[in-house]
Every structure is written in structure tokens, then in C-alpha cells.
Amino acid sequence: MIQPVNALSPKVSFKGAELRNPINRKTERRLAIMNAGGLSLVTGAVTTAIGRSFTSSWKNASLIGGAAGILTMLFVCPRLMYRAGIKSYAKEQEMEVFTKEKEIQKKLLTDVNEAIDEHHPDLRDRIENYTKTVTPKEN
């Protein structure tokens, strides 16, 4: 399923002769680890704050909070990394389809331009041919 394009979607590099896929699995994995670390940090801080009301010192409360943060990291990080791997694979496949489509479109427009240049028509005919090839047919 192809997702709609929004401001956070990766952009395809159209500069140069070759289109390349901007999806990077290592970056997705690092983001998953950072998300798990942030979640475990928040969990540890909240547990420390709650634990302070039940213990006599901040030292004991911080030990409880640290243990809760580590447990959260151990349980959440693998799940987030697994989901990030699946999502990055799906994004890679979608971007491959997109880049192949752009390569085909580029080849088609190049062929049309070469065919137009061979016949030397006037500018109005060139514009009309481009608009016929670029605009989709309406039903």
C-alpha cells in the first residue's frame, strides 16, 4: 500500500543520472533505539518520583527508578526494533516502485523528445505532445 506524501516523507534525489532509494535501515534502527531509550528514561523518572513517596531517601528511589527504566528498555526495545525493520522494508519496497516509475517516465519523455526533434515541428506541437504524455487520462 502506498502512503500519501506529507512533510515528513523522505524525498527522492532526482539529481544526477541515477535515482536512489533514500530509506536507510540503519537510521530506522537507531531511531527505534532512541525511542525506546526515551521511553525507558521517562518511565524511570516517573517511577523515581513515585518511589520517593514510599522510600526514605532519593538514593533508594533512584535505584528503583533505574531498575524500572532498565526493565522497560529490555521489554520495549526489541519490539520497536522489529517494527522499525518491518516498516523500513515496506518503505524500501514502495520507494523502489516509485523510483522505477520515475525512471520509466524519464525514459519515455526522453524518447518523445528525440522523436519530436527528428521531425522538427513548431513549438506549439511540442507542447501539445508533452501535455498528452504527461497528463493522466480522465475517466
- The pLDDT value recorded for residue 7 is 55
Q: Would the pLDDT of 16 be above 90? A: no
pLDDT in tens, 28-66: 888 888 999 999 999 999 999 998 888 888 888 888 999
Average pLDDT estimate for 105-126: 73
Average pLDDT estimate for 112-137: 70
Q: Which of 10-24, 35-49, 104-118 has the highest mean pLDDT?
A: 35-49
Closest by Cα among 35, 16, 32 to 24: 32
Return the higher-pLDDT residue of 25 and 71.
71
Point out which residues pair with 13 in neighbouring strands: 20
Nearest-Å Rg of the Cα atoms of the chain is 27
**What's the one-letter identity of residue 60?**
N
Three-state secondary structure call for residue 139 = coil
- The pLDDT value recorded for residue 41 is 92
State the chain's mean pLDDT as an integer. Answer: 78
The residue length of the chain stands at 139
